[in-house]
Structure 1
Amino acid sequence: MTATPRPLPTLAELLELASVVSLPLHTTFRGVDTREALILRGPEGASEFSPFVEYSDEEAAAWLAAAIDFGWVATPPTLRDRIPVNATLPAVGVEDIGSVLDRYPGCRTIKIKVAEHGQTLGDDIARVREARNRLGADGRIRLDANGGWNVDEAEHAIHALAEFDLEYVEQPCASVDDLWEIRQRVKYMGIPVAADESVRKADDPLDVARRGAADLLVIKAQPLGGIRSALDIVERAGLPVVVSSALDTSIGIAMGAHLAACIPELEYDCGLATAALLVADVTAEPLVPVDGSIPVVRPELDETLVQQSLASTDRDLWWRQRLERVYGVLQGWSESTGRHAAPTE
């Protein structure tokens, strides 16, 4: 006998079940030193709505769809109970690398941020060299430029950094056209090109795969509308994937871990250890790496920790007003988008 589907929440229910938290970071990450998130308490467990503050309401609607899906709909069956993860190294100075990497015990892979505004290629080279020295010859190093280079800059940088035995370079250029071009230029070097922003911020997340502009895709549950929506993209793209997070709390990380656990072939360590960058979290058992992996679990909210991390009154109001607006956008999505619209009240 098929169970009756659980009704999705109304806006009033979401607002009643929400807490807005503000969590400081150990190290500034792409200009962010405090991470804000709206935590929801759904019948399936805690969920998270945390699009970055600069994102439009239209872009944030996929994040709300993901939060509702994770909190109100049972997750799909999983294929594994632990996910190997990579360390994430922000664009810090060489002198700070050790203290950052110490937060990722057992991780065999490091993702290094490069092309940071205000820094030089020399800064990137020094950071990657020090990370390689600490990791050893057997470890894996991947770079993430967040679309910060043009094609010529990317080609020059990849040549300069190739001596450090790169696993792949993530989003070296911003546009799909430029990704295609740089992939052609560096293909002979055997360094794969990964797409992130060209998937999660694109009107058509499959365009980059269809046009042969990437060797693998970086998949994030929240920006892609949730676990089921992301799994559909993975299946249709037909490329290897890395499941990653968006600087989430451990609640958002759990969503990503469940997504990774559903993918049949998981060839790469996943970018799901960024909770290690947070000074505080909303659970007493944060999803930080142990022996290079995290468990596939749904952490319980620690209400004391939530209360200790509550955002200021004005930021709480800002997030609640944003939730109301984005909920309206979600209601307006048509079935042709392939996404779940929010219920009417």
Structure 2
Amino acid sequence: MTTLRPSPSLADILSTAHVVALPLAARFRGIDVREAVVFEGPEGWTEFSPFAEYDDAEAAAWLAGAIDFGWMPQPAPVRAEIPVNATVPAVDAASVPAILARFDGCRTAKVKVAEPGQRLADDVARVQAVREAMGPEGRIRVDANGAWNVDEAERALHALAECDLEYAEQPCATVDELAELRRRVKYMGIPIAADESVRKASDPVAVARAGAADLLIVKAQPLGGVNRALAIVAEAGLPAVVSSALDTSIGLSMGVTLAGALPQLDYDCGLGTSSLFTADIVEPALAPRGGVLPVGRIAPDPALLAEHAASDDRRDWWLARLARCYEELSGPD
């Protein structure tokens, strides 16, 4: 990975760091509680929250993003609010209305599919329930997190096509598979979006050069910050959807800053995920009101930071991880 020289010292970061644990309303990505580190830089509050299974090399990019947001000037917004989508975890179809009710005014829903241990029939039932709840005017996109091979993805999209999909996000894992699937389903009119093929790639623009996607999903923190994400979108030359990684409201404000600065924003963004939490560290939480989020920086509530502090052992685990990632970024002296 590219070596970056962080502008703050590790002591600067740790001096304001809080490790928090926020409960979820429904199990998502195999977890019931989301943990994160939030800290304050001269530009404002920021967040470091790579998923626990990511190694230090991958997680270091998330720290670079957090440092960028806390210590570097951010681009000026070109819009004052961001339309966002609802996010439906891999729940049973009967639970869909309760999930959608948490997302005030959202006209679009992203539905998780291809969950381990579930069948295509479960996905179809879930997406059909979303369509029934949202009506014909609602927009539905599905996200498989790269879990299907090309044949499985083609079969799944055929089965889901009657629900009128806006696009399919990362249906297959590799760029070559995405390109093949895009060729096969082009006649169906279902665009292919790339997420992991952008944020987990050594070359995040390769998927665009290969003609393997119609649009990009970009996430500010794992891409190294708002400024780098903007540069990636500009180089790729494809429409972009800004999404979150199940962040706290502090992390979501980083995504909102990115979405606010994009020259063109054709799709609702996946930044409404605080609605999946039963608690947050900002009051009020950065959650959709009338289907939109305001652009602007926010700060945590000290009482909520204390109330939702992680256990001592989890705090130690996260701060040790942050220190290792800082060393990854600093490189050799």
Q: TM-score, normalised by structure 1?
A: 0.94
| CA displacement, residues 183-208 of structure 1 (integer Å, 9 cap, x when unaligned) | 00000111100000000001110110
Q: Which residue of 2 aligns with 1:99?
A: 98
Count the aligned residue pairs.
Answer: 328
How far apart in 1 are the matches of 2:102 and 2:165?
22
Q: Which residue of 2 aligns with 1:338?
A: none
How far apart in 1 are the matches of 2:286 and 2:76?
20
Which aligned pairs between 1:225-240 and structure 2 lie closer than 5 A?
225-240=224-239
Unaligned regions of 5+ residues in structure 1, if any? 1-6, 334-343
Q: Secondary structure at the match of 1:107?
A: coil
Q: Secondary structure at the match of 1:194?
A: strand
How far apart in 1 are the matches of 2:309 and 2:196?
30
How far apart in 2 are the matches of 1:210 and 1:8?
33
Structure 1 residue 242: deviation in Å? 0.3
Q: Which residue of 2 aligns with 1:249?
A: 248
Structure 1 residue 16: deviation in Å? 1.3
Unaligned regions of 5+ residues in structure 2, if any? 1-5
How far apart in 2 are the matches of 1:99 and 1:57?
37
| CA displacement, residues 244-300 of structure 1 (integer Å, 9 cap, x when unaligned) | 000000000000000001011100000000011111111112110011111112122
Q: Which residue of 2 aligns with 1:340?
A: none
Q: Which residue of 2 aligns with 1:90?
A: 89
Q: After the TM superposition, which of the residue ranges 224-233 and 12-21 deviates more from structure 2?
A: 12-21
What is the letter of the counterpart of residue 173 of structure 2? A
Structure 1 residue 44: deviation in Å? 1.4
How far apart in 1 are the matches of 2:331 and 2:275?
37
What is the letter of the counterpart of residue 26 of structure 1? A
Structure 1 residue 328: deviation in Å? 0.4
Which aligned pairs between 1:1-345 and structure 2 lie closer than 5 A?
8-332=7-331
| CA displacement, residues 94-115 of structure 1 (integer Å, 9 cap, x when unaligned) | 1211111001111110000000
Q: Secondary structure at the match of 1:88?
A: strand
| CA displacement, residues 219-240 of structure 1 (integer Å, 9 cap, x when unaligned) | 0000100000000000000000
Structure 1 residue 121: deviation in Å? 0.5
Structure 1 residue 74: deviation in Å? 2.0
What is the letter of the counterpart of residue 217 of structure 2? V
How far apart in 1 are the matches of 2:68 and 2:320?
21
RMSD: 1.0
How far apart in 1 are the matches of 2:7 and 2:202?
25
Structure 1 residue 41: deviation in Å? 1.3
Mapped contact 1:64–1:326 kept (Cα < 8 A) = yes
Mapped contact 1:285–1:299 kept (Cα < 8 A) = no
What is the letter of the counterpart of residue 150 of structure 1? N
Q: TM-score, normalised by structure 2?
A: 0.97
How far apart in 2 are the matches of 1:44 and 1:281?
21
Structure 1 residue 8: deviation in Å? 2.5
Structure 1 residue 318: deviation in Å? 0.5
What is the letter of the counterpart of residue 206 of structure 1? V
What is the letter of the counterpart of residue 72 of structure 1? W
Q: Secondary structure at the match of 1:182?
A: helix
Mapped contact 1:23–1:35 kept (Cα < 8 A) = yes
Q: Secondary structure at the match of 1:28?
A: strand
How far apart in 1 are the matches of 2:181 and 2:79?
35
Mapped contact 1:195–1:218 kept (Cα < 8 A) = yes
What is the letter of the counterpart of residue 321 of structure 2? R
Structure 1 residue 155: deviation in Å? 0.3
Q: Which residue of 2 aligns with 1:3?
A: none
Q: Secondary structure at the match of 1:36?
A: strand
Q: Secondary structure at the match of 1:40?
A: strand
